[in-house]
Structure 1
């Protein structure tokens, strides 16, 4: 077989397309394939009428997968057909690339598979292209794959917010807590974001009325959105967010006390120096099981001191204990009684931050108790927050919320209609073993 015929077969070309010429430049580490169309009259790409004449040919080039260590390019003069039936002059599509792209489909498939695992900028460096070109491909293929996603089986969702950049720029994300995938992401964090999710759900075969459960934080905007757009859903407030509110209340008390009553704090902490007081700060935020020796010693002195910070830390730990007991016993009645006792203690604590938190939990009491027993929601929403931050790091250099959302879908959406990597095995590993044995 001649070289041109070999590469025609390797590129998967069929009549009327074939490789006419191959040029290898070892100095530039580049190989160029000249592809020609040998057909005469052909069908109109617009209306399908057969036997139309070629009006002109347009020169185009495409980057292809590397050939060994050489950068590979395809070049072709693409026919444009002048149709006598519909009156249009249309360019004939090529089988190796989608319309308007400067990459072959195999090259784009490789780029997408790399961006699923690597930061986009790093993938661009490996492929020797600008990262802006990869972002365009990611947005195109993610949009295409999402359009074919089926959401008809979605019943339990988690709603959360995450920052896009430093400052007040946020997106709202909705997770499918059964299938463990990112369903929807949109800029903003007001009630309209939930309405947009309900519209997107309906567009993908789901029904807002079929959503049975929503796990979220105590956002009044999200509560309004769920009430209006997901009318049949029960709401539970995730343990991660409730405990985070307890941590925030403790930090507020400690910060105010140590700032405005520094002399009294120093006196009551006794012999602890500046370094030990910093150990107190970090130990208050950590679980006791994670304390080092210095933090254990510092917390010993804190618990003996008559400080507001001491009461705040005990209240925070007691709130965590309420959740621990709920998981241990699995009894909603006991959990509700424990939470009521904690709310009463918070209201009598004379600590404004915890009085406000107690009032907040009392106002959402049933949903808070319900959240204690939605273990799949608690664990997965917290895990997804970490994955979103990983996606943000992978998208380093992204220019807008739109591009961040695209990389989040690519990595966390479990999209099933993305292009297959050209390096995927031709058959499963188990099948290869069977063939060898035979």
Structure 2
């Protein structure tokens, strides 16, 4: 932008900061009831910020330095300074980071915590990979095929799809294939078109996962 306008970066940021602060003065958080929060690193370093967003209006509410439970304290202070009510927050979506859970429970007591899809899928992928590694220690045909079990079908190459079909043969009865199928079934839960369908798919998945006789899968399902 500096090259396009001929204005220094410092001046551009100063102008932006001014207008952002002016816009924030009139913000009213009295209708906020669903909040999403997530952390991200700054400039690929070890410094983190935590973002709080209104999930209904899809807009950023607050950015707090750090990624501990104090970021929630910081957010609640801003919320209430802008006519919001901590007890009016009924839903918070976040990852499974213990500090976030602690912060929400202590500072937004009426909120139900929903773990976001990205982090749940990540945990299931880790469980699938653990099954693959354990089975791979005594099943040579699994070696070198890690990503077949972690990628979605649409992201596999033609060669990977062929290998997947070969490994999926019933006569092999591979635990890794069963774990992968459970992962794929879980992803279908998110395409449900109604609450009733969602609950049905989730209950079916939970029963399958907890009766799979695959310890890593059972553990992640019960978490």
TM-score scaled by length of structure 2: 0.82
Gaps of 5+ in 1: 1-122, 361-438
Q: Which residue of 2 aligns with 1:243?
A: 121
Q: Which residue of 2 aligns with 1:401?
A: none
Q: Which residue of 1 aligns with 2:149?
A: 284
Taking a change above 3 Å as real, the CA distance of residues 142 and 333 of structure 1, as seen in their structure-2 partners, is closer
Alignment of 1:32-181 (within 5 A): 123-181=1-59
* Larger radius of gyration between Structure 1 and Structure 2: 1
Whole-Å Cα distance in 2 between the matches of residues 251 and 138 of structure 1?
46
Q: Which residue of 1 aligns with 2:110?
A: 232
Partners of 1:159 and 1:172 within 8 A in 2: yes
**The residue matched to 1:165 in structure 2 has which SS?**
coil
- 1:384-435 residue CA offsets vs partner (Å, 9 max, x unmatched): xxxxxxxxxxxxxxxxxxxxxxxxxxxxxxxxxxxxxxxxxxxxxxxxxxxx
Select 1:212's aligned residue among 82, 90, 99. Answer: 90
Q: Which residue of 2 aligns with 1:293?
A: 158
**The residue matched to 2:211 in structure 1 has which SS?**
helix
Shift of 1:201: 0.5
Shift of 1:200: 0.5
Whole-Å Cα distance in 2 between the matches of residues 317 and 175 of structure 1?
29
Shift of 1:343: 4.1
Partners of 2:87 and 2:108 within 8 A in 1: yes
Taking a change above 3 Å as real, the CA distance of residues 345 and 296 of structure 1, as seen in their structure-2 partners, is same
How many residues of Structure 1 are paired with residues of Structure 2 in the alignment?
220
Shift of 1:177: 1.2
Q: Please report the RMSD computed on the Cα atoms of aligned residues, expressed in angstroms.
A: 2.8
2:167 is equivalent to residue 302 of structure 1: yes
**The residue matched to 1:320 in structure 2 has which SS?**
helix
Shift of 1:253: 4.2
Gaps of 5+ in 2: none
Select 1:344's aligned residue among 210, 216, 221. Answer: 210
Partners of 1:319 and 1:342 within 8 A in 2: no
Higher helix share goes to which structure? 2
Taking a change above 3 Å as real, the CA distance of residues 256 and 137 of structure 1, as seen in their structure-2 partners, is farther
Taking a change above 3 Å as real, the CA distance of residues 264 and 335 of structure 1, as seen in their structure-2 partners, is closer
Whole-Å Cα distance in 2 between the matches of residues 333 and 196 of structure 1?
35
Taking a change above 3 Å as real, the CA distance of residues 141 and 198 of structure 1, as seen in their structure-2 partners, is same
Q: Which residue of 1 aligns with 2:179?
A: 312
- 1:329-366 residue CA offsets vs partner (Å, 9 max, x unmatched): 531653453243044135x203x4x3431231xxxxxx
Higher strand share goes to which structure? 1
Shift of 1:306: 5.2
